[in-house]
Amino acid sequence: MKIITLNIQGGFKINQVCQETKEKFAPLDLLCLQEVCESQEITNHAQQIAESLGRNYASKSFLPIDFKVKSMGNAFVFNKKSLNLLDSHGFTLPGPILNFPWKILNHQLKLTCDRLCFTGLFQTKKGLKIRVSNVHLDSAGGTPTRKRQIKFILKILATFEKTRLEFILGDFNTFNLTNKSFSELNLIQKKGFKDLTKNIPWTASPSNPDPAWKESYFLMRSLKPFSFLFRKKMDYIFGKGKIINPQSLAISFNSTDHQAIVIEFNI
């Protein structure tokens, strides 16, 4: 089975995202997306990706963030030949906890994040149920904010039906101003999840700034030649249950500032 997580950076290069996804991943079982958009003028990005992959693919989105000109959120694209989507739930997470340095940075750059968790219950054709929680956590506020958000997610997940396999994955935005330790991730591991991406050193860099970022675009563009100096590991896949022979890798995309994280395993 092949599961992928990818932040498509608001889909401002959605046609290229569709092309790269098809070239680099097809066939795939499940693609978990962050920063998916939709409006009266914009066809749902997840729907576009599913259609580009072919008639065997479908999508399900949770887009509660209202940016006035468009809605944004998380989504699943799944292969109907291998998976059925039985149920899904979307949640908006608590906002950031900002100390003085974060208040200054947040004011200067207008840092925003979806602050979402989109959980899907899937079933394979052999009847195996798999729960996948597709998250987009906050960078603003650092570890204290993300601890608050992860605790919120874990509390909700504890109320759901238990499954033999479970994944928590997505863009965790693990960025701190000073502390390089991300103790918030330990909260997930204490619940029996294993980090399946330990071998991946980084997943994001300011290499592909979006002109829509009016407050920070020129700063980000000036950093582009030095983007390799600012590489961060922000995307993770955590798994729980009998995951046989898991293999993970990061694949570069020219259409977003994140790498795609791929996990392949046997069931």
Nearest residue to 263 (alpha-carbon basis) of 80, 157, 91, 130:
130
Better pLDDT: 267 or 130: 130
Alpha carbons 243 and 128: distance in angstroms, whole number: 12
CA distances from 22 to 17, 31, 134, 264 (A): 9, 11, 21, 17
Q: Which domain holds residue 63?
A: 2-266
Mean pLDDT of 171-198: 86
Mean pLDDT of 43-51: 97
Average pLDDT, the chain: 87
Q: Residue 209's pLDDT is what? A: 56
Q: For 236-257, how does the pLDDT look when each residue is reduced to its tens digit (9 = 90+)? A: 999 999 999 999 999 999 889 8
Q: 0.75 exceeded by the pTM?
A: yes
* Percent of the residues in the chain that have a pLDDT greater than 70, as a whole number: 81
Which residues fall within 8 angstroms of residue 6, CB to CB, at 6 or more apart? 21, 31, 32, 33, 34, 253, 256, 258, 260, 261
The structural domain count of the chain equals 1
Q: Residue 82's pLDDT is what? A: 98
Mean pLDDT of 51-80: 94
Nearest residue to 140 (alpha-carbon basis) of 102, 172, 177, 107:
102
What CATH number corresponds to the domain at position 152?
3.60.10.10
Structure tokens at 165: 């396999």
